[in-house]
Amino acid sequence: MLRLIRHRLLVAVPTLLVLVVLAFVLMRLAPGSPFSSERNLPPSVEENLNARYGLDDSLGEQLLRYLGNLARGDFGPSLYYSDHDVADLIREGFPTSLRLGLAAMILALGAGVTAGIAAARRPGGMLDHLLMGVAIAGISVPNFVVAPLLILVFAVWLGWLPASGAGPDASLTAAGMVLPVVALALPQFAYVARLTRASMLEVLDSSYILAARAKGLPERTILLRHGLRPALLPVVSYLGPATAAVITGSVVIEEIFGLPGLGRYFVQAALNRDYFLVLGVVVFYGLLVVIANLLVDLCYGLLDPRVQRQ
């Protein structure tokens, strides 16, 4: 297992390198300068700005310098949020995204697995139709429709929950988190429920479950003790990358609920040509995916003894 961890981390280095270079090249191919605006920016001022951030050197030099800094853990300054370092922005944004994302994933996992099992118990039954109907609806309606709808109903009409997720008055409090977490969890719930149901059905059809049934074990024991563990394997392998994606934040949810997460930077930083911030969040994301995949592999070991022995 330690070997697995070491191996994964070794692979991570070239992965991240490719990621950085690709993002760097794409960003710099883009027309438009980080400092352009409709307002009056005399050429001399723009030159000063470029010089201040070292953007007047050759691209190769800039890339090497960036990689060198990165190796030392320096993510560089933000070109747009000029009072901040990229590292600061990530450090400040990540806890929000992480909380929100983890809460959403826990909710999606709990509700999704439960729904999946419930649906698989009697395939074709009323409950199955209902739950899977909800699940498919969950991946058929874009979340930029779901989120405002939730706000309209629960915050404006009913007044039960705050419309914004954050702020000193409702600073990611339990109440403030409910709506964004639900909106974020819905599509994940749908995937998890469908996956669980499908793999549960497959497992229930296998020979050892038939054997357990033949032994006359109670249905509950069969489902939860014998069926669930193997049925969760595909769910776990889905969870890894999905969690990494969710905890780096969602642009849509963050914009609509006014949350201070990381997700916005993926779009905003690109639009602002905030080169270092773009690279920073991309590297960070890559790192999270690597870690998440590692965790998935470890969980596989927990769930499936065969994998452990290998």
Partner 1 sequence: MSAAGNSVAVGATPAGSGWRAFFNQSRGVRVCSCLLLAIAVLVVFGPLLSPYAIDQVDWQHIAEGPSWSSGHWFGTDNNGRDLYVRTLRGGQISLLVGICATAISLLIGVSYGAIAGYAGGRIDQVMMRMVDVLYAMPFMFFVILLMVLFGRNLLLMFIAIGAINWLDMARIVRGQTLSLKHREFVDAARALGVPAADIIRRHIVPNMMNVVVVYASLAVPQMILVESFLSFLGLGVQEPMTSWGQLVSLGAREMESAPWMLLFPASFLAVTLYCLNVLGDALRRYNDALAGSLRGAA
Partner 2 sequence: MRQKIVLAVIAAAAALILWRVFQPQQGEDVAAEADAGPTIAVLRRGNGSEPEALNPHNARTDSAFNIVRDLFEGLTSHDPDGKVVPGVAESWQVSDDGLVYTFTLRQDARWSNGDPLTAADFVYSFRRLADPATGAYYAASLSPVVNAGAIIAGSLPPEELGVEATGPHTLVMRLRSPTPYILDLCTHPSMAPVHRPSIEEHGDAYGRPENLVSNGAFVVSEWVVGSYVAAERNTEYWGNSANAIDKVIFYNTVDTSAELQRYRADELDFTGSIPLPQFNWIKQNLGKELHISPYLTTYYYGLNLTRPPFAGNAKLRQALAMAVDRELLTERITGTGELPAYGWVPPGTNYYTPQSFSWANLAPQERIAEAQRLYAEAGYSRERPLRVELRYNTADLHRRVAVAVGEMWKEHLGVELTLVNEEFRVMIQNIREKQVTEIFRSSWVGDYNDAFTFSQFLHTDFGLNLVGYANPKYDALLEQAAAETDLRRRRALLEEAERLMLADTPLIPLYFHVSRHLVKPHVRGWRDNIMNTHYSKHLSLQ
What residues from 285 to 304 belong to the interface with partner 1 (CB under 8 A)?
A: 285-286, 289-290, 293
Among 14, 168, 205, 220, binds partner 2 (CB under 8 A): 168
Closer of 115 and 172 to partner 1 (Cβ): 115
Q: How far apart are CA 239 and CA 16, in angstroms?
A: 21
Q: Which does 24 bind (CB under 5 to 8 A by kind): partner 1, partner 2, none?
A: none
Does position 129 interact with partner 1 (CB under 8 A)? The reply is yes
Site for partner 1 in 69-108 (CB under 8 A): none
Site string for partner 2, 223-262 (x = CB under 8 A): -------------------------------xxxxxxxx-
CB of residue 44 to partner 1, shortest distance in Å: 27
Q: Which of residues 103-162 bind partner 2 (CB under 8 A)?
A: 103, 148, 151-152, 155-156, 159, 162
Contact segment (CB under 8 A) with partner 2 among 17-25, 163-171, 207-215, 231-239 equals 163-171
Q: How many of the chain's residues bind partner 2 (CB under 8 A)?
A: 75
Q: Report the site for partner 1 in 246-285 (rule: CB under 8 A).
A: 248, 251-252, 266-267, 270-271, 282, 285
